[in-house]
Structure 1
């Protein structure tokens, strides 16, 4: 956990080098022009970084979430936090690899590994919020097909994706339980409406409206009974890679800030010589490094198949990394003074994203509820 294998160390160095060749200016320019990071994504796919967690038989690297978290973190540390790395390889790739049929794995995993296929993930709903047990999107049988009806919100990257992995509820005996469906984005009845967000990101957020969207039987991942295990197999990788992205973003902000404070001269010496400037940066650095340890622990537990322990650690990693990233970016802006609010200095552009990281994909309050209930054995409070 504390030492990378030689292959993991090489991966980290190689991805960091790729990220530096593009950098934060590229990321911001793409976001502000309404474009996507197509070139970076394509090169990362060609080099095998997008498929590090995909089984080798489908063209991937045969690694795990540990390797994918390295990719996510290092691109973010270079100023390119790519949200679709969380959505497509981490969530969709893991769900399909673990619970897809042989035909689904053969159809989707090679494209996910190469980066030529992107799959969005749709679980959040306007009324359900964090309560996945209250999802109202339903799927019902119509002959051999399924008809899906409902609404989803805050769905990332729909405009870039060929498919959306939709979480719906299906009838199973006398109860409704979740099921996952791979829905092509141009399917009739599926309408996407862009959400205006105060976040500098090349990846857009969408409302989805599903009105009797017809999909064939083989669009369901693994069958009705596989729905709940399939869903949870994707949520821990989501939390781990979101945490890795937050930690990388924090590292980027602190690197920019420390360079600035070591060279910015006021009253004849660098401003970093003042403890009022240096100590907040040092404090933020400590918080980031602690979060990175929990990310490594969570990824190692997940890759070892210790799912219950991984769930505890993944939630804690997400909580710690989101708070550390918000602190790091805020501190980086503060030590830059007025320059911190300019686009040129490249830290205020991160503010919206790290603030959102304390809310999504699961809020810090719900994580505290989870830890209180499942780690501390407290009564359920909600």
Structure 2
């Protein structure tokens, strides 16, 4: 990307992904979700076409692009009514961490699968009693001879039932909870003895489910460790910043879909022989939402460009701002789209009601709007810490 103009290759990628999304569409996605089924056909097709692996290094079968390319894929799928939540986790977080910190053997084992979509990996950091405070993580890891033992529990972990393994964030045993603790990343196969998970019912209409995970003295080999044993937050955020960029793209894609649907309805729905879109009471709120969405997209592109340029610190700030802006934009866009449709806005036929909870989630995960405001107040404005 040069300035504010995406490259010809990026634009071609977006067009190709739009075509793929149109082959499936929101009807396919929602039907799968309501039936309790997975969108495996779409995931495999996206993998086979190379879209899931656009950011994986070329030597491992990927496209050799950056997080901006992967975010473009995510956005266009969401705009086409097929948002794939596991894109935020598997190729974005896990793929990035393996590419940056994995050993040669780990890269050989995992990256080709991320590239073609044959591997799906979940990511587990959230805990019931820790919230956004990583220093309160209670899941611990300790050495056991040449290997490791993991104990603890995680909550709201996406797609565990679809994953071959889970990349778990754990604190080293022997350090008090709440202190500056050493954090490590370890790969846990979902069939490992001592590992179990339980579905968390959600109101969000999505084929990808949320789970609580339980680690009861899970024994792992030495090569389960990814990166440095005490890589800490710096290593962790190498994966979390791409997640926030992807979350912003996921949200702006969803917002674009809602706005496109609302605008089409406003152009064609007539009352007293006049399309309702001719009235400023309809047109102005939609125009305001369109501006919000475009501003969020620009901020997301800035964050991706900074990350791909290796400016991790600046990328982190921009990624938080992009995620905040996108969360606000999608909530406003979906709400306004429902209002434009009137009673039809909550009819199953129009699909907007199904987007309502999903759009609201964008203000909460993967980091809440309040924690982003805390970050901006402290680091951008250099105000005293409030937490």
TM-score, with structure 1 as normaliser: 0.98
C-alpha distance in structure 1 between counterparts of 2:362 and 2:243, whole Å: 12
Tell me the equivalent position of 1:248. Answer: 253
Q: Which runs of 4+ in 1 moved over 6 A?
A: 172-175
Tell me, in whole angstroms, the C-alpha distance in 2 between the residues paired with 1:241 and 1:172: 35
Q: Deviations over 1:49-87 (max 9, x none)?
A: 000000000000000001001000000000111110000
Give the drift of 1:222. 1.9
The counterpart of 2:201, out of the listed 165, 175, 196, is: 196
Out of 310, 320, 325, the residue aligned to residue 305 of structure 1 is 310
Q: Does the 8 Å CA contact 1:98/1:230 hold for their aligned counterparts?
A: no
Aligned partner (choices 149, 158, 162) of residue 160 of structure 1 = 162
1:281 alignment partner in structure 2: 286
Deviation at 1:274, TM superposition (A): 0.9
Deviation per CA, 1:84-122: give whole Å up to 9, x if none.
000000000000000010000000000011000000000
Cα distance, 1:228 vs. partner?
Answer: 3.5
> What is the Cα deviation at residue 143 of structure 1?
1.1
1:318 maps to 2:323: yes
**SS of the counterpart of 1:211?**
strand
Contact 1:221 1:227 in 2 (8 A): no
SS at match of 1:105: helix
Name the structure 2 match of 1:26.
28
Tell me the distance in 2 between the aligned counterparts of 1:241 and 1:361: 10
* Alpha-carbon displacement from aligned partner over 1:204-263 (angstroms, at most 9, x marks no partner): 000001110111010000231334433110010000000000000000000011111100
Q: Distance in 2 between matches of 1:146 and 1:97?
A: 22
Secondary structure of 1:151's partner? strand
Q: Distance in 1 between matches of 2:361 and 2:68?
A: 24
Alignment match, 1:214:
219
SS in 2 for 1:176: coil
Counterpart CA distance in 2 for 1:282 and 1:228 is 40
Gaps of 5+ in 2: none
SS at match of 1:136: coil
Residue in structure 2 matching 1:187, options 187, 192, 211: 192
Q: Does 1:239 align with 2:244?
A: yes
Q: CA RMSD in A?
A: 1.2
Counterpart of 2:333 (choices 328, 331, 336) is 328
8 Å contact 1:257–1:335 — kept in the other structure?
yes
Conserved? CA contact 2:89–2:243, under 8 Å? yes
8 Å contact 1:179–1:228 — kept in the other structure?
A: no
Q: Does the aligned pair in 1 maintain the 2:300–2:319 contact within 8 Å? A: yes
CA distance in 2, matches of 1:108, 1:228: 23
Whole-angstrom distance in 1 between the partners of 2:233 and 2:296: 29
Pick from 143, 146, 149 the counterpart of residue 147 of structure 1: 149
- What SS class does the counterpart of residue 257 from structure 1 fall into? helix
CA contact (8 A) 1:242 1:318 kept: yes
Q: SS state of the match for residue 199, structure 1? A: coil
Q: Is the 8 A contact 2:182 2:231 kept in 1?
A: no
- Distance in 1 of aligned mates of 2:74 and 2:182: 32
Q: Give the distance between the partners of 2:151 and 2:92, measured in 1 at CA.
A: 26
Aligned match of 2:81? 79
What is residue 13 of structure 1 aligned with on the other side? 15
CA distance in 2, matches of 1:77, 1:243: 12
**Number of the residue aligned with 1:338:** 343
Instruction: Output the CA distance in 1 between the equivalents of 2:351 and 2:306.
Output: 35
1:263 to 241, 263, 268: 268
Secondary structure (helix, strand or coil) at the match of 1:147 reads strand
Determine which of 336, 345, 357 is the counterpart of 1:352: 357
- What is the alpha-carbon distance in structure 2 between the residues aligned to residue 173 and residue 153 of structure 1? 22
